[in-house]
Structure 1
Amino acid sequence: MGQQYWIILTSDKVAAELLQKRGGKYSSRMPNYYFYQVLSRSKGFIGCSYNERYRKLTPIMHGILGQRNVKEKSDLIDLEYRILMQNLYQASININDGFYPKKYLQLAALNIITLICVARRIENIEDSSFKYFENFQKSHLEFVKVTNRLGDFFPILKWFSGNKFYNKVIEHRNTLESFYGSFVKEVKDDKEKKPCAIRDLLNKVDEGILDELDIVHMTDNIFSAGTDTISASLTWIVAALANNPQVQSKAHEELDRVVGQSRLPTISDEPNIPYIRAIIKEGQRYCGPTHLGIPHYIEEDDEYNGYHIPANSAVVLNIYGIHMDEKRYENPKEFKPERFLGITERSAILANGNYENRDHFSFGAGRRLCTGIHLAELELLLGVSRLLWSFKIENASPLGKDGKPIPINLDKARLGITVWPEEYHVKLVKRHDNVEKILFDISQ
């Protein structure tokens, strides 16, 4: 592509051999001009090269999104996913002909990150803060698309002072830094000194480890990676469940048997609801939130299995390609949670083990594995289990010639760094008489 070699890994074995076993060589990031040097000022974490700075930032990010901190935040995550079910319940009453649940799922994911980073939340999807973030995130992801970074492939383009896109990047960077900078200021001005991630990062400034611009761009990374991926995953899973009522029936039976109808599912139920766990794993495989991983980068020549891999090449994990590999997953175009029954380990554990035992590759591979994997798994558990505990999901598409709703077309997707299904409509029908009482009982 221009002056760069792009190597696409569509084999689980090759991905493991290169990204895991040779992680020391394949864990850097592309030094792309617009995203890393201009847009992020080399201050972020996701685009950081595999160097001393990366090794300095890694424990800091794990401190925010690692398993211990996620466990400490489990109560606020639990509450937010109760509120999500309340919002979906109200929407199901107010919108009789079905609705697209995307924004409600986005709000829940956004609130988790906002609570973790700034110790506050956004009330509803009509809130101006939610709408501003939604629009900002769209424009932000647009800037880092490959098609908008031609200067990375044809370096001569970056030297044209009249480059309109370059000027737009600078303008967007200023907006980004102002947007997340306001979060930093909000935390600094908070007289209550509520505990949050940005406050912890500000302590690193006092210790001389970070500066405030580091915090701004690290906060951007946390918001960018921790909001759309989760809400897109749940948006896909809702559609897949609407198309597969037989899967819902099995899930409903398990939830009624294990949890009952007098309380919501909780984190402690996880070991006892294997079919729900299987639905989540299959959702991540069948219709995950990304088709391609963020490109890795190799800075020195390498040889693998008779192939020469040139230095300064992008190495991309083809997540969708591996997930649709018939040798790895029988009938991969089927939504079949049963393929994961018997797998008791979480994805976070499997991702660091033998590639043959992995459930899916949605969280990436190697040393750049998604830092927020523990948070994502907890959100998916609460989101899917509570959705199915509360509702039967019905397809609200127009009727076909057979008199049944036309299946939601999950082969159609809005492509980008995060992949979304085309807009669809579902009806959420409460499953039993206790749903309203349990969802809105503040004593629970």
Structure 2
Amino acid sequence: MSTALTPHSVDSYLLVASGFIAALLLRRLVDGPSAQERIDANLPAFPPGLPFIGNVHQVAGRRPELQFTEWSKTLGPIFTVKMGVKRWIVLNSIDIVKDLIVDRGNIYSSRDLPEVLLNVLFRGDMGAPMPFMSYGDRWRQIRRIGEFRTQHFVLFIQQLSRSNLSEYSPSVILMHTAHSALTKAKINNYQPIIDIRSNFMLKSLYEASCSSPENVVAPVAIFDFYTVSTMFAVIFGVDIKPNDERIKRGNEVTQEATRLIGLPEQLMEFFPLLKNMPIKTAKLAAAIRSKTEAFWGEQYAGVKKRVQEGTAGECVLREVIAAQPKERLGDLQQSHIGSILNSAGSETTSITIQWMCAILAHYPEIQEKAFAEIEQVVGLDRLPTENDEENLPYIQCIILETLRYRAPAPVAIPHATSKDDTYRGYFIPKGTTVVINIHAIHNDPKRYPNPKLFNPERHMNYVRSTNNKITPEFSERPHLAFSTGRRVCVGINMAERVLFIGIAKFLSCFRIQFPTDEFGSPVPIEIEKPKVGNGTTCIPRPYEVKLVPRHNGVGKLVGSEF
């Protein structure tokens, strides 16, 4: 979930704000330069904007990463945008991201959330999921203990139960579990789940292809189900079916929560006077919170019941329930872990697979090279496994290039400074919002020659280095799709495993082609104009694709009797 601006109609809200502008202009003439204007003089350069509104009208209602990237061509890799009373510093180069987000992470790792999101939906910072929590002692506790190995978790909880529990917030304990559940070692325990769900994806695609006279498939729903069903099984230990009502309800609560990071709520942050207007945002947020907590609470209650009955299979929430100190965490707090991990692991993973399929339809030569690698390493009588990953470097490169070429979220969740700082002669005050423009970094021609070309081989040196346990320089990282620094995505290990298994198996079974029209002419898939999804995620526009089985044994491999 991203807190950057989403496409909404902004005219009505800007008209409300315009009523205050005349009075502010008059006050400006009387009082002279304000304290904010004196601060602005020491910030990175600004693009042209309107008085008091600043650049809101230029960023809102469209994909902000495109506007940011365009401004970076004239203003340079770091600049400031005026969002009403707020200032956003936008980072457009990997070097500046390293300087600030990584090397000065103690300053640039906080969050600047809309008030209604923090205080109503999250019940204050104590209840905020870690990706949205303000940086400070509590966040550092979580991150530090989150680095423990999973086998230390029970010992840690036992120590807590014998200590002064007031020293630890529920968020600390919850998020330790989240980190522990998503280490690479722990994910190996969930590999059978990933295999079952990925094989079901292949079977669904194969049968859909064979059912069509032209092998034409609408694959997005199948990709979605692969990632959602995997995360439900890992988190809750349940096997959901494609038409399960929980999928629909989960999507609904996620989309409704996304409404709270839309333009109306952010405009109240940009123009505080709007908070006095009769806009029932807090009431809406409370209603959405109730619906969200009810849904995830039901999923948690099912796990708790199975734990009490002794029938719960291995899953994340079983560990949470078994390990918590007596009466330390309530049911509501424990259920939060499900929503946190589900958000971290399902949507962006599905989006990446959707993009991979759509993009590779344009590049048959890349498909053939990938299949040749799989055929040589794996053969045709079995499917790729996690043990094949280091021997399939070209498949790894395809995944990395997909994440670069079409990052699921082209603007990272904004950071904020926790204290004043100076950088390159600029003064950056405490509380300044800092935005990583992933789109600009991923399309930097100095880092990626011909960035508009989908070229997996550009990552081969990186893959070979990491496979040989060599740690490349930060500047050599192939992408920032999972963000970076102290706010790197908690679900990165799970996402990478689900992506590799799903994509390697998919490419071992199918050749991807454009469908054809009534005249037999190919119908290309649109990949240049993404659709904006939840928040500012960029997803492919709905498409169909022709999936041709690679060989006669595919049906047997995927367990289909079709």
Task: Measure, in 1, the Cα distance between the counterparts of 2:471 and 2:431.
Answer: 26
Matching residue of 1:82: 199
* Aligned residue pairs, count: 438
Q: What does residue 221 of structure 2 align with?
A: 103
Work out the percentage of aligned pairs sharing the same amino acid. 33
Show CA shifts across 1:88-113 (max 9, x none): 11221234452331111111111121
**Residue 405 (structure 1) aligned to one of 508, 522, 527:** 522
| Residues 397, 463 of structure 2: 8 Å contact kept | no
Q: Does 1:185 align with 2:304?
A: no
Bigger shift: residues 49-58 or 35-44: 49-58
| 2:386 alignment partner AA | I
Q: TM-score, normalised by structure 1?
A: 0.92
Confirm or deny: 8 A CA contact 2:135 2:418 kept in the other structure.
Answer: no
Amino acid at match of 2:298: S
Residue in 1 that maps onto 2:542:
423
Distance 2:438 2:394 in 1: 23
Q: How does 1:306-345 map to 2 (within 5 A)?
A: 306-344=425-463
Q: Which residue of 2 aligns with 1:21?
A: 103
Which stretch of the first structure deviates more once superposed, 391-400 or 307-316? 391-400
Q: Match of 1:281?
A: 400
Q: Decide whether the 8 Å contact of 1:348 with 1:373 is kept in 2.
A: no
1:45 aligns with 2:130: yes
Alpha-carbon offset, residue 283 of structure 1: 0.5
Structure 1's unaligned 5+ residue stretches are: none
Cα gap change, 1:32 to 1:345, in 2 (>3 Å): farther
Which stretches in structure 2 are left out of the alignment for 5+ residues?
Answer: 1-82, 147-175
AA aligned to 1:107 is F
Instruction: Return the alpha-carbon distance in structure 1 between the equivalents of residues 325 and 536 of structure 2.
Output: 35
Deviates more, 1:1-10 or 1:279-288: 1-10
Instruction: Label 1:95 to 1:30 Cα distance change in 2 as closer, same or farther (>3 A).
Output: farther
Q: How many Å apart are 1:209 and its aligned residue?
A: 5.4
Aligned equivalents of 1:153 and 1:205: distance in 2? Answer: 41
Distance 1:143 1:276, change over 3 A: same
Aligned position for 1:354: 473
Q: Aligned ranges for residues 370-385 of structure 1 at < 5 Å? A: 370-385=489-504
Listed as ranges, the matches of 1:77-156 within 5 Å are: 77-96=194-213, 98-124=216-242, 126-146=243-263, 148-156=265-273
From the CA coordinates, give the structure whose radius of gyration is larger. Answer: 2
The residue that corresponds to 1:265 in the other structure is: 384
CA contact (8 A) 2:198 2:502 kept: yes
Q: Is the partner of 1:187 in helix, strand or coil?
A: helix
Q: SS at the partner of 2:461?
A: coil
**Alignment partner, residue 34 of structure 1:** 116
Q: Deviations over 1:375-419 (max 9, x none)?
A: 11111111111111000011126489xx74243221211223322
Distance of aligned partners of 1:305 and 1:78 in 2 relative to their CA distance in 1, 3 Å threshold: same
Would you say the 8 A contact 1:205–1:212 is kept in 2? Answer: no
Contact 1:230 1:376 in 2 (8 A): yes
1:72 aligns with 189
Q: How far off its partner does 1:267 sit?
A: 0.7
Q: Distance in 2 between matches of 1:132 and 1:333?
A: 37
- Once the two structures are superposed, residues 38-82 of structure 1 have per-residue CA deviations (whole angstroms, 9 ceiling, x without a partner) of 112131222111123323443112112122211221121122111
Structure 1 residues 397 and 56, CA gap change in structure 2 (3 angstroms): farther
Contact 1:4/1:312 (<8 A) preserved: no
